[in-house]
Amino acid sequence: MDTLERYAPNENLRRDEAAWRAQNIDWHFAEIQLDVSNATDSSASGYSSITTLNFSSKRAETFIDFIHESVDEVLVNGTAVDLDSAVLDARIYLDNLRTDVPNTVKITGTALYSRSGEGLHRFVDPQDGQTYLYTQFEPSEARRVFACFEQPDLKTSYRFTLTGPAAWHLASNQPIVDEVLHDNGTKTVACAPTPPISSYITAVLAGPYHVVRGEHIQKLEDGEELSIEMAATCRASLAKHFDGEEIIKLTSQGLDYYHQLFDYPYPWGKYDSAFVPEYNLGAMENPGLVTFTERYVFTSQATEAQHEQRANTLMHEMAHMWFGDLVTMKWWDDLWLKESFADYIGTLANDEATDFTTAWTTFAARRKAWAYVADQMPTTHPIVADIPDLLAADQNFDGITYAKGASVLKQLAAFVGADAFRDAARAYFRKHAYSNTSLDDFLEALETASGRDMGAWAEAWLKTSGVPKLHVQYDTDEAGTITAASLIQSGTDPVTGEKIARPHVLSVGAYQLADGKLSRTDSARVELAGESAALDFLVGSKVPDLVLPNDGDETYALIEFDQVSRATLLAHLSGLTDSLPRATCWASLWDAVRSATLDAQSYVQAILDHAHTVTDAGVFGVLTDQLITSISKYAAPELRAELRTRAVGVLTGWLTEFESGSDQQTTTARTLARLARAGVAGQVIDAFLGEQPNQYQVTVDEQLLWASYIALAAAGRLDEAAEARMHEAAKAKPTSVALNAVRTALAARPDAQVKETAFDTVLMARDEQGELSNDALSATALGFTMGSAALLAPFEQRYWAAVLPVFETMGMEFATRVIEGLFPGHQDLDGAVEQNQALAAATNWLERHEGAPTALKRILLEERAELERSLKAQAYSRTSR
């Protein structure tokens, strides 16, 4: 790009535009003044936003990003510019810049409060009427709050000044250095300037937040001490549920661990952890002000798995303080340089620095499964992806960038050694602190630390797509003794069509069954450089009951078990007592169900036979989720009723078998409530909603209460009396959880008019009370989809007529929620797979709309692929009866 283009719409910044701007701009600092004093006034749509940017430019022209309600004044070096010529859609074009001295540009305008979780989100607490604000910017939403150069490789120092109600907690990335109270009941706080950071990790928090404070003292190598002020915040109405001291403790543990690992002191001054409502993500790594979903403030009994997941998220975000915040990718192609690293290092920290010592087991069962799903989609891509613009960047926060990348980095640590990996990270931070990098920069650090050429490894792992599959092949003599054995790698890169031939360093284990236990009797360390590697340690022995490639889960690959091993696992999985190999086996069997090589009914039976012996709370939760999905999506329709009845019988027995109040009992009760949506387990649901204590000795907390009402509604049993009790419960405790659950329950009722209303509500993102929030929209869509395929079939034609207008008129977050939420993905196989009307409609739409936005087509391609996978699994289930 040689010249500056003017066009509209222009929210979707292109990579070449960003590169052009980065070549010409040197950004010195930005002063941001935000006045949210009117936030409690529901009629106020926006707030004052004043930005002063100081930068040098090699050219007289550039553009500044600002998605606004209004732009009232633009001053360039003190001179006003003509707004009609300068302001075009989401950009402010300037053509009178100085090239000999720095420029000062001041932009005064009004920005909009958000309901979508993008930009500055405004939430009114239904319990006490208090108003809360927080920001979420990644990848490119800072421009919804203030004018800026919205791209990661234009870092600068930000100085935030915030004005709001005097009683409010106001915060940004750096500590407050000045505060002024005003006579009108407001105050203004000035924050210290940040070190150089990218716009997407700036942050603002404002509202009557409950605050828990702490301090972490970090001892440095020179004998000095680094004091880090910590705060953990949540809404005031959640304070009684908030274990802020635990958050402070975990934060201290993480800071100690990362300081030792990276040998680079925490560089951001303070460390705030803010738990916020209606959050689109799990968390965001804003330095000094990390935001988390308030789902991590547990209002119901929290299982060990929930606590572990929260700790893992906290460690993931803390890893970003170095990987991503201190050293940042130049453009979103290298998003993996922060997300893959944070996923890997965060899990490592959770395992080594906290009490959650099964973090890698949970990763194998849940996180890695996300990667396998994403990497088998038609939209799969290399870890180092091609990101031409911001819309593409927004969609690459996926299982490949996060969990596959983390899995590959775990394999990298095995490949070069943990010490070399650590030393490379340390050198990388020292060399590139407060700057931007690409893949080559990290590979250079790795090569120096390990003494190995990383080029071939990077080509094989980071620049190819698809999941490799591993299986063991052996020959035996007449006596059943193994005479030859090999580990075989197979698979095809779905993007290039070439064979997958990646280097692996892994262990292969041999297990024997004795007295109901599967014990490892032998193992070998194997370097698989291409298609196969000899397994000499098996030669001369009888065929083991189980041969487990990737024993220890060190590499990224699915396992195709031989017939003996699969049969052993289905019958004796509970005999495998080591948690990580057990999780690896469950994950590979689950993929076999999804790939239609293992029938769903066999997997359901395996769960019912063995899951109750699983002591890892995270894995147990994964298995109960898979139980639901196996029955509802992957089993032949004619088998589901019997499978649900069988599952309800077993799980009801578990309720009394497990200790009252235990994680397993809590998870089992919640699973029964989900099963009950299909009209089973009515007696159990009635007990949960009846007088307490119930016959199962299950504590009915907020989550189980509302899951039970949703089940009652979906099953068609929410009569007038039950509905009245539901509304009374929500009125008595009008939490956001309760109000959204009521939305789901009302939309879940199996009635055509109910579905019509819910469908229209989601499509318009409005109801009789006005615009929906992001969470309210998804809650309504969830209820709509709780219906038979026959009940929902009349809406399919309307869906396909609406998807393009929805995408073109709604923001990315709302459009994605609508299109994914209403997709007709739950289908019953009737005849051949290719004859399914919903699948054919998806195919036809994509064929007719080749010119549709790439981001929209990606959503629909993935939804179509999941539907096709579901139908193929149902067909396999039917033929395997």
Q: Would you state the structure tokens that stand for residue 131, as one six-digit string? A: 């108003």
What mean pLDDT comes out for the span 44-50? 99
Indicate which CATH number applies to the domain containing 75.
2.60.40.1730
Same domain as 424, residue 521? no
Q: Buried b / exposed e across 547-571, counting CB within 10 Å, b at 16+?
A: bbbbbbbbbbbbbbbbeebbebbbe
User: What pLDDT score does 50 carry?
Assistant: 99
Q: Would you state the structure tokens that stand for residue 92, as one six-digit string? A: 């402010």
What mean pLDDT comes out for the span 579-589? 97
Residue 1 has pLDDT above 80, yes or no: no
First and final CA of the chain: distance in angstroms? 61
pLDDT digits (tens, 9 = 90+) for 106-150: 999 999 999 999 999 999 999 999 999 999 999 999 999 999 999
Domain hosting 61: range is 1-208
Q: How many domains does the chain have?
A: 3
In sequence order, the β-bridge partners of residue 293 are: 276
Same domain as 474, residue 457? no
User: What pLDDT score does 712 carry?
Assistant: 98
Q: Flag whether 17 is in a domain.
A: yes
Query: For the chain, what is the mean pLDDT?
Result: 97
- Calculate the alpha carbon distances from 477 to 384, 401, 473, 480, 518 in Å: 47, 46, 14, 5, 25
Q: Flag whether 23 is in a domain.
A: yes
Angle among Cα 31, 36, 37 to the nearest 5 degrees reads 125
> Do strands 271-276 and 79-80 pair parallel, antiparallel, or not at all (unpaired)?
unpaired
Amino acid at 717: R
Same domain as 155, residue 51? yes
Q: Flag whether 511 is in a domain.
A: yes
pLDDT digits (tens, 9 = 90+) for 746-785: 999 999 999 999 999 999 999 998 999 999 999 999 999 9
Same domain as 450, residue 369? yes
pLDDT digits (tens, 9 = 90+) for 273-313: 999 999 999 999 999 999 999 999 999 999 999 999 999 99
Element (H, E) at 206: strand 204-207
Integer-rounded Cα Rg, in Å, for the chain is 28
Same domain as 502, residue 362? no
DSSP string, 299-347: SSPPPHHHHHHHHHHHHHHHHHTTBTTTEEESSGGGTHHHHHHHHHHHH
Is the peptide bond preceding residue 693 cis, with omega within 30 degrees of 0?
Answer: yes
Indicate which CATH number applies to the domain containing 393.
1.10.390.10
What mean pLDDT comes out for the span 605-630? 97
In sequence order, the β-bridge partners of residue 323 are: 327
Same domain as 475, residue 416? no
> Three-state SS string across 772-815, please?
CCHHHHHHHHHHHHCCCHHHHHHHHHHHHHHHHHHHHHCCHHHH
Q: How many CA atoms lie within 13 A of 246 on its CB side?
A: 13
Q: How many CA atoms lie within 13 A of 57 on its CB side?
A: 23
Q: Flag whether 25 is in a domain.
A: yes
Same domain as 551, residue 423? no
pLDDT digits (tens, 9 = 90+) for 313-351: 999 999 999 999 999 999 999 999 999 999 999 999 999
Same domain as 454, residue 473? no
Domain boundary among 208, 229, 251: 208
Residue 260 has pLDDT above 80, yes or no: yes
User: What pLDDT score does 881 carry?
Assistant: 81
Q: Flag whether 376 is in a domain.
A: yes
pLDDT digits (tens, 9 = 90+) for 76-103: 999 999 999 999 999 999 999 999 999 9
Q: Strand ranges (DSSP E) for 568-651?
A: none
User: What pLDDT score does 194 carry?
Assistant: 99
What whole-number percentage of the chain has pLDDT above 70? Answer: 100
Contacting residues for 649 by C-beta, under 8 A, at least 6 apart: none
pLDDT digits (tens, 9 = 90+) for 158-217: 999 999 999 999 999 999 999 999 999 999 999 999 999 999 999 999 999 999 999 999
| Long-range contacts formed by 273-276: CB under 8 A, 24+ apart | 273/230, 273/231, 273/232, 273/233, 273/247, 273/314, 274/134, 274/171, 274/205, 274/209, 274/232, 274/233, 274/234, 275/232, 275/233, 275/234, 275/235, 275/238, 275/242, 276/121, 276/123, 276/132, 276/134, 276/205
Same domain as 196, residue 84? yes
Domain boundary among 532, 559, 586: 559
- Calculate the alpha carbon distances from 130 to 42, 206, 209 in Å: 11, 11, 10
pLDDT digits (tens, 9 = 90+) for 24-41: 999 999 999 999 999 999
pLDDT digits (tens, 9 = 90+) for 204-235: 999 999 999 999 999 888 888 999 999 999 99
Active-site residue, from 285, 317, 554, 868: 317
* 3-state class (DSSP) for residue 478: coil
Residue 655 has pLDDT above 80, yes or no: yes
Same domain as 168, residue 31? yes
Same domain as 138, residue 201? yes
Contact between residue 838 and residue 827 where contact means Cβ atoms under 8 Å apart? yes
Indicate which CATH number applies to the domain containing 502.
2.60.40.1840
Identify the residue whose tokens are 């022995």: 541
User: What pLDDT score does 223 carry?
Assistant: 82
User: What pLDDT score does 219 carry?
Assistant: 87
Active site residue 317: yes
Domain boundary among 504, 524, 559: 559
What mean pLDDT comes out for the span 374-392? 96
What whole-number percentage of the chain has pLDDT above 90? Answer: 98
Q: Flag whether 603 is in a domain.
A: no
Q: Flag whether 450 is in a domain.
A: yes
Same domain as 150, residue 54? yes
Q: Flag whether 249 is in a domain.
A: no
The alpha helices in 77-212, defined as continuous H runs, are: 83-86
Amino acid at 605: Q
